[in-house]
Amino acid sequence: MNTQILSTSEYDIALAGKILAGGGLVAFPTETVYGLGANALDETAVKKIYLAKGRPSDNPLIVHIAEKEDIIPLVKEVTPTAKALIDAFFPAPLTIILPKSEKIGNVVSGGLDTVAVRMPQNKTARALIKAAGVPVAAPSANTSGLPSPTKAKHVIEDLSGKIDAVIQGEDCDFGIESTVITLATDTPTVLRPGAVTKEMLEAVIGRVEIAKAVLEGMASDEVAASPGMKYKHYAPKAKVILVNASKERYEQFVNSKKDAFALCFEGDDVAIPKVTYGNESDDLSQAKEIFDALRRLDDMGAKKVYARIPRKSGVGMAVYNRLIRAAAFHIIDLEKPFTIGLTGQTGAGKGFVGEYLSKLGFNVLDTDIYARKICEPNSPVLAVLAAEFGNDIIKDGSLDRQLLASRAFSSPENTAKLNSITHPAILELCEKDAVFPSVLDAPLLFECKGDKMCYRTIAVLAPFELRLERIMKRDGITRQQAIARMNAQQGEEFYIKNSDFTVVNDGRNIENQINEILEEIL
Ligand code: TXA
Ligand code: MG
């Protein structure tokens, strides 16, 4: 098929309208993204959209109208809530879902009993719908799964030869698809965030929910509120990884990467090849550029891309929603105080792993050392301990560790009391001293909830006999004593269950095991 490239002239729009009325496919600009239109009332024409895009047939299309009142014949009823939204926003980057009328066929609605309706702002789009004389079904004019098209050239890249015509208009103003809100549920629910934000909607109709899948993705057994939620989306060929980090931390992180690209904000000081998507504090600029940026990364041959995360509020929520899908929900969280939490059984050789991480440039914070620091003479923790366990645990200003231990370990309640005083103080001090990238080295990592402050956790394990030997040698104690000490601690299953990764330190290739983990998580 030869795809005609049309202009936005009156003559060309009239021609495009005829193509639509005659059952053909025309791609056209809107203020959000380019749409691929067909006569919404002609099921044969609508089927061609699915074919050209390679779109799953259960993913319904948005029906576009030229005037507000054109929604009336398409839905069962224009409810008061719908009317309020239409009056406040239409024409807008906003799509409203309502129970459908019998005019809407099963192909457009993907077999659902609801229909999605939008009245675009873009002049060309509205003139085209008017010229067609029918409502126009139009998904984004890209190949299913790829980033949405915000420039005519994106449409041509994806669909040339598969559709009748493209109206070559201006680049899209907003750059991300419309906000989709369903009014077919008890509480109006945003199924896809866009430039019309939750706050803007709530100002008009009161409480609005955000579907869980918007920010979190879906469990494999979950039924999608919107079929579009369950499909792969916006993904470039490159593997995209989202990095939750401040400007400085992000720069430091990506500048240590080889063979990777950065997808960052203007002004980020990045030494590897980069593509920017707008300004950090201007979410509309991010929306406008994100899809083009993803396509440019592919043009540049990027294989791995570290993308700086946008903020999740306002229009940023919509940008985040697109990016997290482009990244298939892969996030590195460098905003946690510690990059890695390191723990393990006594005698397993956690210290050796800590030393290796330190050699690799990690800043290792050993909680055993901090446990002493918080009890230095005149420290506030010392005063609290004295009030709890007796003033005589302080001798000449210093802590009598043995006396404290004898009291604190006399009962599980007392031990818990001790921990509730010391653990938070230790973590607080470690956090203060943490310099990115850091390791929290803690024998009781999970018990003190330090794992919650770490991006990922690693537990070091070793065979029983090996640990036994190491402990006897290290502490100069008998076999019996060592076994008693080992039995007082958590078993292997505890560490396997709670940690993200385990390594086995039995003298062989521990470095390789660590390298593999670092490769995977960073
Ligand atoms: O900005 C936009 O909305 C663009 C331009 C062209 O108007 N269109 C667009 O269409 O983004 P599309 O097909 O790429 O995305 C429509 C989304 C899909 O996620 C689909 O599952 C959802 O809306 N949707 C459509 N009808 C629905 C319905 N009846 N119930 C639930 N979700 C629906
Ligand atoms: Mg789409």
Q: Are 437 and 361 in contact (CB under 8 A)?
A: yes
pLDDT of residue 229: 77
Closest ligand 1 atom, CA of 120?
7
Do β-strands 62-64 and 136-137 pair in parallel, antiparallel, or remain unpaired? antiparallel
CA dihedral 232, 233, 237, 241 (to 10 degrees): -90
Q: Does ligand 1 come within 6 angstroms of the Cβ of 155?
A: no
Q: Does ligand 1 come within 6 angstroms of the Cβ of 115?
A: yes
pLDDT of residue 226: 81
- Given ligand 1 and candidates 36, 49, 59, 62, which is best to mutate, with the most ligand atoms within 8 Å of its CB? 62
Which protein residue's CA is at the shortest distance from atom 5 of ligand 1?
Answer: 35
- Kindly state the tokens that stand for 274: 């980069």
At 113 the three-state DSSP class reads coil
- Given ligand 1 and candidates 177, 229, 231, which is best to mutate, with the most ligand atoms within 8 Å of its CB? 177
Which distant-in-sequence residues (6+ apart) come within 8 Å of 506 by Cβ? 462, 463, 466
Q: How far, in Å, is the centroid of ligand 1 from the Cα of 133?
A: 21
Dihedrals phi, psi of 306, to nearest 5 degrees: -100, 115
Closest ligand 1 atom, CA of 109?
29
Phi-psi region of 423 (alpha: psi -120 to 50; beta: other; left: phi over 0): alpha
pLDDT of residue 428: 97
Do β-strands 304-308 and 165-167 pair in parallel, antiparallel, or remain unpaired? unpaired
Q: Does ligand 1 come within 6 angstroms of the Cβ of 425?
A: no
Do β-strands 338-344 and 454-461 pair in parallel, antiparallel, or remain unpaired? parallel
Closest ligand 1 atom, CA of 191?
32
Residue type, 104: I
pLDDT of residue 223: 76
Q: How far, in Å, is the centroid of ligand 1 from the Cα of 56?
A: 13
Q: Which ligand is nearest to the CA of 144?
A: 2
Q: Residues 216-220: contacts with CB within 8 Å, 24+ apart?
A: 217/324, 217/325, 217/329
Q: Which ligand is nearest to the CA of 143?
A: 2
DSSP class of 73: G
Q: How far, in Å, is the centroid of ligand 1 from the Cα of 139?
A: 6
Q: Which residues, given as ranges, of the chain have pLDDT below 70?
A: 219-221
Element (H, E) at 502: strand 501-504
Q: Does ligand 1 come within 6 angstroms of the Cβ of 62?
A: yes
Neighbours of 10 (CB within 10 A): 10
Q: Does ligand 1 come within 6 angstroms of the Cβ of 318?
A: no
pLDDT of residue 227: 80
Q: How far, in Å, is the centroid of ligand 1 from the Cα of 239?
A: 25
Q: How far is CA 334 from CA 54, 182, 245, in A?
A: 37, 35, 5
Closest ligand 1 atom, CA of 176?
1
Report the Cα 77 to chain-centroid distance in Å. Answer: 36
Q: Does ligand 1 come within 6 angstroms of the Cβ of 180?
A: yes
- Kindly state the tokens that stand for 163: 């559709």
Q: Does ligand 1 come within 6 angstroms of the Cβ of 61?
A: yes
- For 294-395, list the strands marked E by DSSP: 304-308, 331-333, 338-344, 363-366, 394-395
Do β-strands 179-182 and 35-39 pair in parallel, antiparallel, or remain unpaired? unpaired
CA angle 56, 57, 63 (to 5 degrees): 110
Dihedrals phi, psi of 179, to nearest 5 degrees: -65, 130
> How far apart are alpha carbons 367 and 382 in whole angstroms?
17
Neighbours of 272 (CB within 10 A): 15
CA dihedral 251, 254, 259, 261 (to 10 degrees): -70
> How far apart are alpha carbons 145 and 153 in whole angstroms?
17
Within 13 A of 459's CA, how many CA atoms are on the CB side? 23
- Kindly state the tokens that stand for 494: 């505890």
From the number of C-beta atoms within 10 Å of its C-beta (0-12, 13-18, 19+), residue 4 rates as middle
Q: Are 149 and 44 in contact (CB under 8 A)?
A: no
- Kindly state the tokens that stand for 25: 């496919």
- Kindly state the tokens that stand for 275: 């593509």
Residue type, 370: Y
Q: How far, in Å, is the centroid of ligand 1 from the Cα of 76?
A: 19
> How far apart are alpha carbons 365 and 340 in whole angstroms?
10
Q: How far is CA 51 from CA 46, 142, 166, in A?
A: 9, 12, 17
pTM score, two decimals? 0.88
Which protein residue's CA is at the shortest distance from atom 12 of ligand 1?
Answer: 139
What are the residue ranges of helices labelled H in 100-166?
A: 123-132, 152-159
Closest ligand 1 atom, CA of 115?
29
Q: Does ligand 1 come within 6 angstroms of the Cβ of 139?
A: yes
- Kindly state the tokens that stand for 193: 């965030």
Q: Look-up: residue for tokens 């990095």? A: 243
